[in-house]
Amino acid sequence: MSLRGVTSPEKNVRELELFIERAEFDKEVMNVYRKQVKHITVPGFRPGKAPKHIIEKLYGESVFYDAALDALLPDVYEAAVKEAELDVVSRPEAEVVSIDESGVVLKAKVYVKPEVEVKKYKGLEATREAVEVTEEEISAEVEAGRKRAARISTLSEGAAIDGDEALIDFEGFVDGVAFDGGKAEKYPLKLGSGSFIPGFEDQIVGKNVGESFDVNVTFPEEYGAENLAGKAAVFKVTLHELKRTELPELDDEFVKDISEFDTLDEYKADIKAKITSRKEKQAEYTLEEKLIDELNANTEVEIPAPMIESEIDSYVRDYEYRLSMQGGNLDMFFQYTGQTMEQLREQFRAQAERQVKTRLALYEVVKAENIVATEEDLEAEYEKIADGYKTELEKVKATIAPETITEDIVLRKAVDLIKENAEIK
């Protein structure tokens, strides 16, 4: 088995001419015959006992050729790619050129990693977003904490206020006649939610538990049911019960109950620090994305289509996995949305193209700067993964090969180098 030659019929494409000695080919044909003969029925012979030449005469001389080539091609192709020192980015498209007494000649067309020109990766310009935390943001976080610590009381007496959940019976009438869909019993309605007809909830506020009363409203002109749109209606309502959310007082005692702090000021300072940290991380991420866009703008490359399609495949697999985590799958998604696989893949195309171009550009930076992943880098990454998954370090090392995380490490270093050498405002 050997590589006879390599040609470049078009950009980023290589065509390999492969040769398999006749003896090697015949040996594999015989292997295929031995495996398949037991399933071949030939008149006059017991199952599995028909001679090879009889089967070839009956079904054609090439009856075992395809299976033999399928078995031989992977090793032939892999050896040829290694010998030609090609960085292949697609599966081969193989065809048989000839089969004769000397052997088998094949051609395999593959796409290779493209040539990349990064014109500039140092001195890129970008603006980092200023980080500011407002009092409103701090207050919103404090209020969220109060709501999490709130106590819900059920009231069997007293008047309704905005924010209560009212348990009501109601029946609606238009011109004195009850209408379909206008009746319910023991219905929980959050007052102030705006989920009912405008004005309905407002008229419950102030009413007492156990009280029955009328609520007068007018259906909106654009109401879904044409027979009710724009009509005046009267609802007979009975208020059975109220559920009221009682927020704790905003003081030092509240802070002690829900946190490790002793005072409200300490609690607010901690909230401010956390919001600041969150915003700084987002600002740093946004800055890196801007620098990546600048890097891509300074990069010239013609990306082979298979690289884009392979990246889209990854996005589709990830999307399908996330659907499965929610109890769904792609078939259900397509059924409910009316989308097709082609449309879904097209949605990922721009993102995939950017990702592939970014990776190619960063690899050029890695090569230019001789960036490597040290043993210390690998150890730190393993520890980070183990900590993230709350598992033992040795189990992570046994599961994930160093080569798998080396790529992430060197590309991360390339991004850091670009950022360190950027002109950031």
Q: What confidence tens digit (pLDDT) does each residue in 191-209 have?
A: 999 989 999 999 999 999 9
- Mind listing the domains of the chain with CATH numbers? 2-113 (3.30.70.1050), 151-246 (3.10.50.40), 264-424 (1.10.3120.10)
Angle at 396 between CA 394 and CA 326, to 5 degrees: 145
User: Which of 9-23, 106-120, 219-233, 296-310 has the weakest average pLDDT?
Assistant: 219-233
Q: Closest Cα partner for 95 from 12, 16, 10?
A: 16
Asked if residue 200 lies in contact with residue 263, where contact means CB atoms within 8 angstroms, the answer is no
Give the torsion sign (CA, 37, 40, 43, 47).
positive
Identity of the amino acid at 122:
K
What SS3 class is residue 425?
A: coil
Cα(95)–Cα(249) distance, integer angstroms: 79
Q: What does the pLDDT read at residue 1?
A: 59
Q: Examine the pLDDT at 314 and tell me if it is beyond 90.
A: yes
Asked if residue 272 lies in contact with residue 133, where contact means CB atoms within 8 angstroms, the answer is yes
Asked if residue 161 lies in contact with residue 190, where contact means CB atoms within 8 angstroms, the answer is no
Q: What does the pLDDT read at residue 38?
A: 87
- pLDDT band at 298, cuts 50/70/90? very high
Q: What confidence tens digit (pLDDT) does each residue in 207-259 have?
A: 999 999 999 999 998 887 888 999 999 999 999 999 998 889 999 999 998 99
Average pLDDT over residues 387-415: 89
Q: Examine the pLDDT at 400 and tell me if it is beyond 70.
A: yes
Q: What confidence tens digit (pLDDT) does each residue in 354-365 have?
A: 999 999 999 999
